[in-house]
């Protein structure tokens, strides 16, 4: 049966369709309320005229459909299949991490706010989201200055003999020591929630009432506390701008440029704009399908779901998606496309943010390409160094020797392709042999086939290190595959007769050239090379320290005849650390369970690098 006949015979019921290419690979998965109508829209005479859509449809040789009873079931099935197959032309929301929120469980005794990522249906209240942990902590600190709620778990607070330091600086009301009643503490909690909900007027009116009641009852200390709270709230509220009345909303805006879909997500909490996120996505089909795919993936990743989601256009599965989100979060969720008023202005603001973000991204990419072209010219490379790799060695007198390799693509770290190498075949301090081992493992045929080769390889050091690396590359038969340079750090120079201290320029050495290339100091090209070199060094040091932490004790103790894992564990439990063992005398070591005088003497001698003293 031809593809045209199969499309003609598709059912009109809801379901999911899978598009296959000639190799039998799924290249796109979609959902539809009416399968025949949706799939026919791609191929019919009135189909999308954009080139990239026609290019995609030209690759489709077969279509398979999976029927569902409802459109909501189709949404769920589509999301599951996309995660399972990762089709090339589906939206890939790489920034799908959950964001930070503030959690408050009012069922607790003297409840407190905590910072969390996930938002389970556990009966607690959640406020946010905040785009980073630092943003969430800033809000929490601001709350704690205004509303002196407890900071620590109640169990640890009750274990203290006196209130903590936060009580002394006025940021905790010390409920664990009975310095505030449950009623007054509950009022503070209510005030904090009203503040986070943006209900500042209601909050101020309530606190003024409590202040007046306390003053009339001649409870002047309590009245002063409410007065101070009011002042803190009023100062904070002045800095906020309420743009709509109450409620929590997410506002979606987008801007399309060929195959890039830039999305801006504004977080409105209690009528206040609390933050935003930007997403740059590769998308080759319709705008409404792209926005719908984003919503399905973003809100399925345990992100906070507000009461209302505002869109710049209509999407076919709006009602089904709203029903699904309502079920998932246990409250009614509305998805709407506002046509007028404040909400429409917010959507336009989100679209403006998306357009500005794409323009900034394009400008930044052009700037990076200019820097890379400058590097190509100055370093006499055959091609623009889109992918740059840098390698470094870290060791201490030949112990715990490691190598690191970092990759930068288009001037940005490509951390998925960072590599660490434990040096296995080199004894002693031989950096040349260590680098040779790293290169032979990075550039073996199977690794090259999988990861490819970079456009430029940078090694840390001067002309000597470059010549060593060049000899290794020649030995591997890779001299013509990529560019190779070394970057020497600047040196501090001081004239004996002068009080001034000068630093030499950082120098780049090229193969076959004795004199270095001196790039202009603080130029973008030199800063990029230095950043890559420093990142490789940081990555190597990090791995080196990790190995020392894991194996330093074992290498210092277990190599001694007579000491194995059990005796090492007993020594560490008894003395607490290797430093504690080194500080002990022979008699103390011999008294540890499992030890004896002879082994204790050998251990003491090895750790102190000396002959056994007479006792």
Q: Are residues 265 and 328 in the same domain?
A: yes
Q: Any idea what the CATH number is for the domain that residue 603 is in?
A: 1.10.150.20
Torsion-angle region of 522 (φ positive above 0: left; ψ -120 to 50: alpha; else: beta): left
Q: Is the pLDDT of residue 324 over 70?
A: yes
**Of 140-144, 179-183, 460-464, which range is least confident?**
140-144
In three-state form (DSSP H/G/I as H, E/B as E, the rest C), the secondary structure along 467-521 is HHHHHHHHHCCCCCCCEEEEEECCCEEECCCCCCEEECCCEEECCCCCCCECCCC
In percent, the amount of the chain with pLDDT more than 90 equals 16
DSSP 176: G
Q: Give the burial string for 155-165 (b: 16+ CB within 10 Å, else e).
A: eebeeeeebbe
Token pair for residue 598?
Answer: 């002879």
Q: Are residues 433 and 514 in the same domain?
A: yes
Domain termination residue (choose one: 238, 272, 299): 238
Q: How confident is the model over 552-575, as a mean pLDDT?
A: 70
Q: Are residues 257 and 201 in the same domain?
A: no
Neighbours of 89 (CB within 10 A): 22
Token pair for residue 111?
Answer: 């409840």
Q: Is the pLDDT of residue 229 over 70?
A: no
> Quick one: pLDDT at residue 200?
62
Q: Are residues 412 and 515 in the same domain?
A: yes
> Quick one: pLDDT at residue 612?
38
Q: Strands 260-269 and 248-257, how do they pair?
A: antiparallel
What's the CA dihedral at 461, 467, 471, 473 to 10 degrees?
Answer: 50
Query: Is the Cβ–Cβ distance between 401 and 435 less than 8 Å?
Result: no
- Give the chain's count of helices (H) and strands (E): 21, 20
Domain termination residue (choose one: 528, 548, 568): 548
Neighbours of 249 (CB within 10 A): 22
> Quick one: pLDDT at residue 615?
33
Rounded Cα distance, 11 and 423, in Å: 61
What's the CA dihedral at 558, 559, 564, 565 to 10 degrees?
Answer: 30
Q: Are residues 533 and 406 in the same domain?
A: yes
Token pair for residue 305?
Answer: 């779901």
In the chain, how long is the greatest CA-to-CA distance?
100
Looking at the domain assignment, is residue 72 inside a domain? yes
DSSP 129: E
Q: Is the pLDDT of residue 41 over 70?
A: yes
Q: Are residues 523 and 470 in the same domain?
A: yes
| Full domain range(s) for residue 311 | 248-358
Strands of 153-226 (E only): list them: none
Tens-digit pLDDT profile for residues 412-441:
999 888 988 888 877 777 778 888 888 888
Q: Are residues 184 and 105 in the same domain?
A: yes
Q: What are phi and psi of 586, to 5 degrees?
A: -60, -45
Q: Give the burial string for 527-555 (b: 16+ CB within 10 Å, else e).
A: ebbbebbbbbbebbeebbeebeeeeebee
**Apex CA 434: angle with CA 428 and CA 435, to 5°?**
155
Looking at the domain assignment, is residue 8 inside a domain? yes
- Is pTM, for the whole model, over 0.85? no
Query: Is the Cβ–Cβ distance between 541 and 394 less than 8 Å?
Result: yes
> Quick one: pLDDT at residue 239?
44
DSSP 612: P
Tens-digit pLDDT profile for residues 244-288:
455 788 999 999 888 888 999 988 877 777 778 888 888 888 888
Looking at the domain assignment, is residue 289 inside a domain? yes
DSSP 177: G
Q: Any idea what the CATH number is for the domain that residue 443 is in?
A: 3.30.420.340
> Quick one: pLDDT at residue 46?
54
How many Å from the N-terminal Cα to the C-terminal Cα in the chain?
Answer: 96
Query: Is the Cβ–Cβ distance between 143 and 151 less than 8 Å?
Result: no
Query: Is the Cβ–Cβ distance between 529 and 408 less than 8 Å?
Result: no
Share in percent of the chain as helix, strand, coil (round to 5): 45, 20, 35
Q: Is the pLDDT of residue 55 over 80?
A: no
Looking at the domain assignment, is residue 93 inside a domain? no
Query: Is the Cβ–Cβ distance between 321 and 296 less than 8 Å?
Result: yes
Q: Are residues 483 and 583 in the same domain?
A: no
Rounded Cα distance, 371 and 412, in Å: 12
Mean per-residue pLDDT of the chain: 81
> Quick one: pLDDT at residue 458?
92
Q: What are phi and psi of 257, to 5 degrees?
A: -135, 100
Distance of CA 610 to the CA centre of its chain: 50
Q: Which residue reads 């409870």 in tokens?
A: 219
Q: Is the pLDDT of residue 497 over 70?
A: no
Of 473 and 400, which is predicted with more confidence? 473
Looking at the domain assignment, is residue 370 inside a domain? no
Q: Are residues 498 and 538 in the same domain?
A: yes
Rounded Cα distance, 289 and 340, in Å: 23
Query: Is the Cβ–Cβ distance between 438 and 393 less than 8 Å?
Result: yes
Nearest to 85 by CA among 57, 114, 64: 64
How many structural domains is the chain composed of?
Answer: 5
Positive or negative CA dihedral for 184, 190, 195, 200?
Answer: negative
Looking at the domain assignment, is residue 380 inside a domain? no
Nearest to 269 by CA among 220, 218, 305: 305
Token pair for residue 61?
Answer: 């040789």
Distance of CA 74 to the CA centre of its chain: 31
| CB neighbour class for 472 (10 Å; exposed up to 12, middle 13-18, buried from 19) | buried
Under the banding of pLDDT at 50, 70 and 90, the label for residue 608 is: low
User: Mean pLDDT highest for which of 93-107, 171-185, 373-387, 543-557?
Assistant: 373-387
DSSP 94: S
Domain termination residue (choose one: 502, 518, 548): 548
Q: Are residues 425 and 526 in the same domain?
A: yes
What's the CA dihedral at 226, 231, 232, 234 to 10 degrees?
Answer: 120
In three-state form (DSSP H/G/I as H, E/B as E, the rest C), the secondary structure along 389-434 is EEEEEEEECCEEEEEEEEEEECCEECHHHCEEEECCCCCCCCHHHH
> Quick one: pLDDT at residue 18?
92
Looking at the domain assignment, is residue 73 inside a domain? yes
Q: Give the burial string for 480-503 (b: 16+ CB within 10 Å, else e).
A: ebbbbbbbbbeeeeeeeeeeeeee
Q: Are residues 24 and 110 in the same domain?
A: no
Q: Strands 334-336 and 419-422, how do they pair?
A: unpaired
Tens-digit pLDDT profile for residues 357-388:
888 888 888 889 999 999 999 999 999 999 99
Looking at the domain assignment, is residue 613 inside a domain? no
Q: What are phi and psi of 442, to 5 degrees?
A: -70, -40
Q: Are residues 544 and 451 in the same domain?
A: yes
Strand partners, 503: 492
Q: How confident is the model over 541-568, as a mean pLDDT?
A: 68
Query: Is the Cβ–Cβ distance between 440 and 477 less than 8 Å?
Result: no
């Amino acid at each position: 049966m031809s593809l045209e006949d199969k499309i003609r015979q598709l059912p009109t019921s809801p379901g999911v369709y899978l598009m296959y290419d000639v190799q039998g690979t799924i290249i796109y998965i979609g959902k539809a309320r009416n399968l025949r109508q949706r799939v026919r829209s791609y191929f019919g005479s009135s189909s999308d005229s954009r080139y990239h859509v026609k290019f995609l449809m030209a690759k489709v040789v077969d279509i398979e459909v999976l029927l569902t009873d409802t459109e909501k079931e189709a949404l769920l099935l589509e999301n599951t299949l996309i995660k399972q197959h990762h089709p090339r032309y589906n939206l890939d929301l790489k920034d799908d991490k959950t964001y930070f929120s503030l959690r408050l469980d009012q069922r607790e005794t003297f409840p407190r706010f905590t910072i969390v990522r996930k938002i389970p249906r556990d009966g607690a209240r959640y406020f946010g989201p905040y785009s980073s942990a630092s943003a969430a902590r800033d809000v929490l600190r601001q709350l704690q200055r205004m509303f002196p709620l407890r900071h620590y778990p109640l169990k640890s607070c009750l274990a203290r003999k006196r209130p903590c330091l936060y009580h002394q600086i006025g940021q905790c009301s010390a409920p664990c020591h009975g310095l505030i009643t449950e009623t007054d503490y509950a009022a503070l909690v209510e005030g904090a929630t009203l503040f986070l909900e943006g209900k500042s007027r209601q909050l101020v009116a309530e606190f003024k009432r409590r202040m007046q009641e306390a003053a009339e009852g001649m409870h002047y200390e309590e009245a002063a506390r409410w007065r101070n709270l009011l002042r803190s709230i009023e100062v904070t509220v002045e800095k906020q701008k309420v743009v709509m009345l109450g409620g929590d909303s997410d506002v979606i805006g987008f801007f399309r440029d060929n195959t890039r879909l830039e999305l801006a997500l504004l977080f409105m909490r209690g009528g206040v704009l609390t933050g935003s996120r930007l997403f740059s996505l590769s998308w080759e089909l319709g705008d409404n399908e792209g926005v719908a795919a984003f919503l399905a993936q973003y809100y399925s990743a345990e992100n906070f779901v507000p009461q209302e989601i505002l869109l710049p256009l209509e999407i076919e599965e709006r009602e089904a998606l709203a029903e699904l989100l309502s079920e998932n979060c246990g409250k009614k969720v509305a998805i709407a496309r506002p046509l007028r008023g404040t909400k429409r202005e917010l959507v336009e603001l989100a679209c403006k943010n998306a357009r500005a973000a794409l323009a900034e991204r394009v400008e930044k990419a052009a700037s990076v390409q200019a820097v890379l072209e400058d590097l190509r010219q100055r370093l006499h490379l055959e091609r623009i160094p889109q992918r740059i790799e840098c390698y470094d060695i870290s060791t201490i007198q030949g112990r715990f020797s490691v190598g690191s390799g970092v990759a930068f693509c288009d001037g940005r770290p490509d951390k998925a392709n960072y590599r660490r190498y434990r040096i296995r075949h080199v004894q002693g301090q031989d950096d040349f042999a260590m680098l040779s081992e790293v290169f032979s493992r990075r550039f073996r045929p199977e690794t090259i086939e999988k990861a490819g080769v970079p456009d430029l390889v940078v090694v840390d050091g001067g002309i000597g290190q470059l010549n060593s690396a060049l000899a290794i590359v020649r030995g591997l038969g890779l001299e013509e595959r990529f560019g190779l340079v070394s970057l020497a750090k600047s040196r501090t120079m001081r004239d004996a007769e002068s009080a001034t201290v000068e630093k030499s320029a950082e120098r780049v050495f090229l193969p076959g050239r004795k004199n270095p290339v001196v790039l202009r100091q603080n130029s973008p090209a030199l800063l990029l090379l230095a950043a890559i070199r420093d990142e490789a060094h940081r990555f190597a040091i990090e791995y080196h320290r990790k190995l020392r932490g894991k194996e330093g004790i074992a290498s210092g103790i277990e190599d001694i005849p007579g000491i194995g894992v059990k005796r090492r564990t007993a020594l560490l439990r008894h003395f607490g650390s290797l430093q504690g063992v080194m500080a002990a005398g022979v008699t103390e070591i011999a008294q540890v369970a499992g030890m004896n005088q002879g082994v204790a003497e050998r251990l003491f001698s090895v750790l102190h690098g000396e002959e056994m003293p007479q006792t």
